[in-house]
């Protein structure tokens, strides 16, 4: 705190509604959090927050409140998401970034009024790369948002009429002998491989609207083998699980891209399921296409994995257990060593 005279400011949050509790928290837990991170004293009085403290800190917190209230008019946020937004807000201030940039981070507002925004610096670079390049490779482990953000960017491009259609594709690794024993048409046989793409779509678009776009081929979901012989103009194309594309399939896919199109290729080179005799087209493409203008590679790491908090705790518990199990095994092994 500075030696300047403290400032007092009042901000009315409106009525006791969902937005009010998103800001203050059900047990005022957010008020306590804000008081600590913004270094101000906050006194709740009805629907009003009385803010006291260093003038700069008070103005900064009042500015945050106005920003989050504006955002809550467009989308729903949980109390935790508001706390996360406060953290991002402060990071931008400390980094001397323009606060309005947080509005630009919004890629898409879903049918549930949820804003899709990049949640890490790598995700921001990924979104920026997609905006600025014709072909982008997103490489890294599962759960880092590679496909999800690409889908959001595709829908945003479609909404802005920058493309006429979206094409989602991925290799069906077992599209040979094993699938042949399954009932149904070829499309029905490969449907389980494409299901993650449907899940991402339905999370962002109302079901009826998604069905409408799928029926009219505004959005097309198909196995990679179905791309052969086509030229894809004015389309946003996503190739998912690209580590399981063969070198021939990858070359075929990349040469399908036509005028006005954008392609995003995602994959995890540590999870290749191809037969041993086959070489991953993604691994080869990383070597061949390096340095070409209009093509960018974005690498994700485990630090970019976006998990539900309970999942993170489960993983930590398993890792601790496995470390303990390994130490027990080591002790048992030592006991078995003959003298």
The dihedrals phi and psi of 272, each to the nearest 5 degrees, come to: -85, 125
pLDDT digits (tens, 9 = 90+) for 117-173: 888 889 999 999 999 999 999 999 888 899 999 999 999 999 888 999 999 998 876
Rounded to an integer, what distance in angstroms lies between the CA atom of residue 295 and that of residue 137? 8
Beta-bridge partners for 210: none
Rounded to an integer, what distance in angstroms lies between the CA atom of residue 54 and that of residue 145? 39
Rounded to an integer, what distance in angstroms lies between the CA atom of residue 265 and that of residue 263? 7
Rounded to an integer, what distance in angstroms lies between the CA atom of residue 114 and that of residue 159? 16
Rounded to an integer, what distance in angstroms lies between the CA atom of residue 192 and that of residue 58? 53
Rounded to an integer, what distance in angstroms lies between the CA atom of residue 174 and that of residue 204? 29
| Sites in the chain below the pLDDT cut of 70 | 1-5, 93-104, 173-191, 193, 277, 307-309, 311-312, 315, 325-339
HSE-CB for 277 with a 13 A CA cutoff: 0
Copy the structure tokens of residue 165. Answer: 């259609």
Return the SS3 of 230: coil
Token pair 């959090």: residue: 33
Pairing of strands 165-170, 219-223: parallel
Rounded to two decimals, what is the model's pTM? 0.63
């Amino acid at each position: 705190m500075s030696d300047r005279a403290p400032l007092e400011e009042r901000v009315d949050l409106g009525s006791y509604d969902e937005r009010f509790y998103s800001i203050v928290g059900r047990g005022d837990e957010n008020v306590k959090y804000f008081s600590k991170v913004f270094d101000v004293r906050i006194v709740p009085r009805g629907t009003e927050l009385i803010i006291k403290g260093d003038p700069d800190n008070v103005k900064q917190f009042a500015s945050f409140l106005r920003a989050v209230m504006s955002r809550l008019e467009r989308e729903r946020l949980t109390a935790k998401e508001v706390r996360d937004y406060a953290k991002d807000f402060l990071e931008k201030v400390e980094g001397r970034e323009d606060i309005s940039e947080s509005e630009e981070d919004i890629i898409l507002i879903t049918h549930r009024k949820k804003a899709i925004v990049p949640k890490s610096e790598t995700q921001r670079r990924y979104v920026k790369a997609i905006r600025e390049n014709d072909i982008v490779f997103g490489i890294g482990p599962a759960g880092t948002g590679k496909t999800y953000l690409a889908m959001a960017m595709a829908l945003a491009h479609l909404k802005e009429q920058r493309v006429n259609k979206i094409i989602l594709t991925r290799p069906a690794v077992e599209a040979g002998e094993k699938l042949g024993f399954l009932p149904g048409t070829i499309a029905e046989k490969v449907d389980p491989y494409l299901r993650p793409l449907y899940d991402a779509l339905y999370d962002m678009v109302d079901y009826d609207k998604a069905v409408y776009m799928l029926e009219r081929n505004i959005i097309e979901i198909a196995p990679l083998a179905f791309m052969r012989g086509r030229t894809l103009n004015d389309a946003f194309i996503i190739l998912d699980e690209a580590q399981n594309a063969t070198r021939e399939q990858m070359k075929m896919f990349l040469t399908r891209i036509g005028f006005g199109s954008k392609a995003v290729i995602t994959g995890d080179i540590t999870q290749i399921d191809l037969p041993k005799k086959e070489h991953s087209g993604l691994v080869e493409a990383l070597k061949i296409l390096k340095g070409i203008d209009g093509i960018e590679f974005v690498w994700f790491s485990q630090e970019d994995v976006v998990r539900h908090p309970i999942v993170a705790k489960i993983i930590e518990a398993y890792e601790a257990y496995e470390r303990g199990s390994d130490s027990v095994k080591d002790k048992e092994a030592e006991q078995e060593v003959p003298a």
